[in-house]
Amino acid sequence: MNLRIISANLVVKLMGFYREKTTMFFTFAFPIILILVFGTIFMSQDSMEYRLCVQDLDRTNASAQSIKTLGLNGKFKITSIDPAINAAQYVRDNRVNLVLVIPKGYESSLMQRMMLKDFNASVTITYIYDPSSSSVITKMQILNSVLAGINQGMSGKPPFIRSVEKSILTKKYRFIEFFVPGIIAMSVMTLSLFGTVDSDTELRQKGVIRKLSTTPITRTDWILSNILYHFILAVISTIAMLLVSYAVFDVSLHIDAWLLAFILLDVFAFVGTGMILTRFVKEAQSAAAAANAISYPMMFLSGSFFPIELMPGFLQKIARTLPLYYVNEGLRASMVFEDNMAALRSSAIIGVYAAVVFILGIMATKWEEGK
Amino acid sequence: MTKETAYAVEVDRLTKRYGDLPAVDDISFTVSKGEVFAFLGPNGAGKTTTVEIIETIRPPTSGKVNLLGMDVTKKKHDIVHRIGVLPQGFSSFDRITVRETLQYYARLFSVKTDIDGLIELVNLGDKTKEQYKNLSGGLKQRLGIAIALVNDPEVVFLDEPTTGLDPRARHEIWEVLLGLKKKGKTVFLTTHYMEEAELLADTVAIISKGKVIAMGTPGELIESNANYLALTLKPVDEKVFEIVRKMGFGPVLDNHKNIKVRVEHTYDVQKILNAIKDAGALYLGLDVRKPNLEEVFLKLTGEALREDPDEMEAE
């Protein structure tokens, strides 16, 4: 190992990267764009208000009061629609996914129940909905819970089962705070994997590696400078992502040495994977396809964008075999939950993976021809 | 241990096989220190495989190769400091300038190099700030030669340094190589351009199908393998061909309907010209010259050095 050679190689790589403006833009800007887009989408979901169309066929004080109660919940912005029109047609024509219909006789049934204590008196509220809408089920579930609350209130008796929410976290976290560590893990993976595969395949194809093999630089020097290069890019990219996240979304994330440790492990794991791929892929175009084939399933399955609990059981099992899953878990453990033991467990798993893959990568890297 | 030897390169019964296919088949030769040695052969003859084994890029299947007295399979680390290599199809980092590239390679060798002197040697003075990707083919090769010299090597390997270049760029590279020759460097040159070998080489080895089939100075090779004169006639009427044929010289017509005749002596040329004149036939022009390595190669192998007719035409 020769530090002078490693630094010479590192400088050349960084200069080449700096002068390749398009690559630089996509390396740093792409994860930031993801954070901005998804962050904005999910931030608004944290305080989401649904539009609720209500058709009041009873047109009485009692029905108006009930509609007001629905609005007070804070989840719905009420739009009244004309009792004379066909609600189903309204749903079709106006691209709304749900109309709640309060039947005629609502007030009289309510009086019968409340004043005359006729417990057989009831009303049926109709949901006229478009089942092709993805959010309508959530909307109906919220409505059901609101209606259940009204029914409970009308019974005049306190509920037997009550619930109380206790978060395992000391602070209340938003989606964006879970999302940012996932994007850091994913972008470090892609820049390490694609960077290694693209550059090594291109340099091999063009004969630069053959030329280098006639100089004092060794395979170890080359690989170490590659690791350093990708680590520096990963740190710069992470700093950029964090700055944007703090500036735009005012995130609350815990930053300590674990962040650097996981970035380094992420780099080792995926530079190693890239080195193995490079051995089997001869041309630059196939190299990009091979790297895509690995990185895309990895980023979607390992919980970078959404929790793996949303996936079917067998996919969750697959997710737990993926290295990126443990980088995600480890980064969230340190940055969100501030759980050192969980971070340690994840780092041990990704550490073993990185070591194995990196050693295989070194063995797979051809330096001299025909060996 | 390094032993002192008069030879820069010693190749003894070298064989390289890819599967069952022998790319280099039991060849032996030596290259003396200070000479320009040309390995001449067509594409696929085994030139690059041989030179890459000597440069420590490839391992041999069998045989022994010593470079400056060191076994190439065991002393790679020592050897790389004492050689300079321009590999076939040389390429470098796209976004790095000429000067930065030379500085980079100098740092790899941990040597203080006269970068300006090198730039001047290969005549790249006005391109020092140009990135590699913006250089023309000829300029890239000149940079490649300069890189091969950053560590002031004792032996310089140049693998097809002018392949794919236009005639002007090729002549510019030859100027650089003549400069190296003047400096007394040992140069191992592989080429399929016979004029390159004739112009630059002290010794030429002709390789065909993995075997060295002839070796010597260009003059020796021509003398021993092509001891004749080549007469070319540009005839006006077709009678000329018949006249020469009837004299028993075995003329052939080339693609441009020129008559090509091989004769042993200058008086044979006179005899042919007299016979044409006596028959009242006419010719527009004639050319008499000694054969070159191309013809030596043709005679020895029965195949052309270059297979690309357009490339030959371009010259």
Residues of chain B where predicted confidence (pLDDT) is lower than 70: 1-4, 302-315
The residue to which tokens 């199908």 are assigned: B209
Question: Cα(A253)–Cα(B306) distance, rounded to whole angstroms?
Answer: 68
Indicate yes or no: CB of A369 within 8 angstroms of CB of B57: yes
The answer to whether the CB atoms of B89 and A208 lie below 8 A apart is no
Question: pLDDT > 70: what percent of chain A?
Answer: 95
* Close Cβ partners of B35 (under 8 Å, ≥ 6 residues apart): B8, B186, B187, B202, B203
CB contact under 8 A, B57 and A16: no
Three-state secondary structure of chain A: CCHHHHHHHHHHHHHHHHHCHHHHHHHHHHHHHHHHHHHHHHHHHHCCCEEEEEEECCCCHHHHHHHHHHHHCCCEEEEEECCCCCHHHHHHHHCCCEEEEECCCHHHHHHHHHCCCCCCCCCCCEEEECCCCCCHHHHHHHHHHHHHHHHHHHHCCCCCCCCCCCCCCCCCCCHHHHHHHHHHHHHHHHHHHHHHHHHHHHHHHHCHHHHHCCCCCCHHHHHHHHHHHHHHHHHHHHHHHHHHHHHHHCCCCCCCHHHHHHHHHHHHHHHHHHHHHHHHCCCHHHHHHHHHHHHHHHHHHCCCCCCHHHCCHHHHHHHCCCHHHHHHHHHHHHHCCCCHHHHHHHHHHHHHHHHHHHHHHHHHCCCCCCC
Q: Would the CB atoms of B59 and A370 count as touching at under 8 Å?
A: yes
**B21: which chain A residues are within 8 Å (Cβ-Cβ)?**
none
Tell me whether B58 touches chain A (CB under 8 Å): yes
Interface contact flag, B109 A215, Cβ < 8 Å: yes
Nearest to B95 among A7, A16, A369 (CB): A16
Shortest Cα–Cα distance, B51 to chain A (Å): 12
DSSP three-state, residue B77: helix
Condensed to tens digits (0 to 9), the pLDDT of residues B141-185 reads 889 989 999 998 999 999 988 887 788 888 888 888 888 888 888
The CA distances from residue B189 to A34, A158, A235, B48, B155, in Å, are 54, 99, 46, 10, 11
Phi, psi of A368 (to 5 degrees): -95, 145
Cβ neighbours of B104 in A, within 8 Å: 8-9, 11-12
**Which chain A residues contact residue B96 at CB under 8 A?**
12, 15-16
Q: Which stretches of chain A drop beneath a pLDDT of 70?
A: 44-48, 167-172, 367-371
- Within 8 A of B131 by CB-CB distance, chain A residues are 19
The CA distance from A311 to B108, in Å, is 51
Outline where chain B has alpha helix (H). 47-54, 76-80, 98-108, 115-121, 137-148, 167-182, 194-200, 218-225, 239-246, 266-278, 293-301, 309-314
Nearest CB among B83, B91, B108 relative to A217 is that of B108
Place of tokens 């592989």: B190
CATH numbers and ranges of domains, chain B: 7-223 (3.40.50.300), 227-290 (3.30.70.980)
Chain centroid, CA A226 distance in Å: 29
Q: Closest-CA residue in chain A for B96?
A: A16
Rounded CA gap, B270 and B267, in Å? 5
Residue the block writes with tokens 């989408």:
A41
Task: Please report residues of B whose CB lies closer than 8 A to that of A20.
Answer: 95
Cβ contact B90–A211 (<8 Å): yes
CA B140/CA B132 separation, integer angstroms: 7
| CA-closest candidate to residue A350, choices A255, A254, A234, A270 | A270
**pLDDT at residue B310, as a whole number:** 40
Q: Do A11 and B92 touch (CB under 8 A)?
A: no
What 3-state DSSP class applies to B50? helix
Number of CB pairs, chain A paired with chain B, less than 8 A apart? 76
Question: B6-24: buried (b, 16+ CB within 10 Å) or exposed (e) per residue?
Answer: ebbbbbeebbbeeeeebbb
* Among chain B residues, CA nearest to A17: B95
Distance between CA A116 and CA B164 in Å, rounded? Answer: 104
How is chain A split into domains, by residue range?
3-43+170-364, 49-155
Choose, out of A215, A221, A226, A369, the residue to mutate when testing the contact with B (most B CBs < 10 Å). Answer: A215
pLDDT at B16: 93
Query: Does ipTM exceed 0.90?
Result: no
φ/ψ of residue B25, rounded to 5? -125, 90
At residue B157, the 3 state secondary structure works out as: strand
Q: Which of B55, B88, B107 faces A4 most closely, judged by CB atoms?
A: B107
> Domain A49-155 - what CATH class?
alpha beta
Contacts of A16 in chain B (CB under 8 A): 93-96
A-chain residues near B56 (CB < 8 A): 213-214, 368
Interface test with A, best of B85, B91, B154 (most A CBs within 10 A): B91
CB pair distance less than 8 Å for B89 and A207: yes
Q: What is the DSSP letter of B160?
A: S
CA atoms within 13 A on the CB side of B12: 9
Q: What is the nearest CA distance from B56 to chain A, expressed in angstroms? A: 7
Q: Which two tokens stand for residue B260?
A: 């090509």
Q: Residues A125, A165: contact at Cβ < 8 Å?
A: no
From A45, A47, A42, select the one nearest A245 (Cα to Cα): A42
Picking from A4, A15, A206, the nearest residue to B95 by CB comes out as A15
Task: Among A216, A369, A371, select the one facing B109 at the smallest CB separation.
Answer: A216
Task: Tell me if B54 sits within 8 A of B188, measured CB to CB.
Answer: yes
Q: Six-digit token pair at B245?
A: 């044929």
Contact B87 A19 (CB under 8 A): no
